[in-house]
Amino acid sequence: MARTIVFFHAHPDDEAIATGGTMARHSDAGDRVVAVFATRGELGEVDDGVLHDGEELWQRRVRETEAAAAILGTARVEWLGYRDSGMHGEETNHHADAFAAASVDEAAEKLARLLRDEHADALVVYDDHGGYGHPDHIQVHVVGVEAAQRAGVANVYEATMNRDAIKRQLEMAREAFPEFGEEMPEIKEEGPERFGSPDAIITTRIDVSEWIDRKRESLKAHASQIPESSFFLQMPPEAFRESFGTEWYIHRGVPSDTRETELFQ
């Protein structure tokens, strides 16, 4: 029986990074995959010469999202129409149209209408700190949880990152390449910018290794933000598979010791 899964993301390329494998997997299984974006990623960074004369970044990112959606088998792409809020602590967080400053009631009702229209069986949002503290990601969590309640969507999954697994991978990388030790990112475990979630509270681990090439191609489609020189695309295929071949979720409302290997398990 085909089901409908709505993936709610903050900016273009978030879907490819966090949930691209799951989206491709469910599309191939015959489920209807819908992507909803809070913003068009207006404040992303872009290298000189990437945009055409007169082209706005958001226009490029919309086209990139459409290309990535085709790769992942996404049936519908929608935009809530808010503005990218920028990183935590920036003045742009308070812009009149910023998603982070939006009325939760208004935004949740916009999303709830779409969930009802799609007769959604599941909604994917982010964990309660947005994965790494980005204000738009946190707002996705708040708005998404409220919208699911309004629309009666029982299955809500919080996309996250396995902090413990990533720490282990970084430690292995430091041992193998000590000359790059100082360049390895810091994994914050406390505060508003804490990274990911501990393994103990992650309920759902989805093996997307069979779809890893599609995930990588969807990342490449977001070329304004993920150029060929990015660490994502510079990783050898096996290293990329090892790092991104599992996607991680917290299934809201189930015991924290639940261990699922797919959505709807």
Instruction: For 73-101, write each residue's pLDDT tens digit.
Output: 999 999 999 999 999 999 999 999 999 99
- Give me the percent of the chain exceeding a pLDDT of 90: 82
Whether the CB-CB separation of 42 and 57 falls below 8 Å is answered with yes
In terms of Cβ atoms closer than 10 Å to its own Cβ (0-12, 13-18, 19+), residue 193 is middle
Does residue 243 carry a pLDDT above 80? Answer: yes
Q: Tell me the CATH class for 4-251.
A: alpha beta
Tell which wins on pLDDT, 15 or 165.
Answer: 15
Tell which wins on pLDDT, 176 or 200.
Answer: 200
* Cα–Cα distance for residue pair 75/168, rounded to 1 Å: 36
pLDDT at 234: 87
Residue whose token pair is 């510079």:
234
Helix (H, G, I), strand (E, B) or coil at 67: helix
* Cα–Cα distance for residue pair 103/128, rounded to 1 Å: 18
* Cα–Cα distance for residue pair 5/123, rounded to 1 Å: 6
Place 114 in a pLDDT band, splitting at 50, 70 and 90: very high
- The answer for 248, left when phi > 0, alpha when psi is -120 to 50, beta otherwise, is beta
Mean pLDDT score, 131-149: 97
Tokens of 22: 């799951």
pLDDT at 206: 98
Domain ranges of the chain: 4-251
* Cα–Cα distance for residue pair 265/1, rounded to 1 Å: 14
| Side chain identity at residue 13, one-letter code | D
pLDDT at 65: 98
Whether the CB-CB separation of 169 and 195 falls below 8 Å is answered with no
Average pLDDT, the chain: 93
pLDDT at 188: 73
Question: Which residues lie across from 160 on neighbouring strands?
Answer: 248
Whether the CB-CB separation of 214 and 72 falls below 8 Å is answered with yes
pLDDT at 158: 98
- The answer for 5, left when phi > 0, alpha when psi is -120 to 50, beta otherwise, is beta
Helix (H, G, I), strand (E, B) or coil at 17: helix
Mean pLDDT score, 163-188: 69
pLDDT at 172: 72
pLDDT at 1: 85
Does residue 123 carry a pLDDT above 90? Answer: yes
Q: Enter the pTM of the model.
A: 0.94
Place 190 in a pLDDT band, splitting at 50, 70 and 90: confident
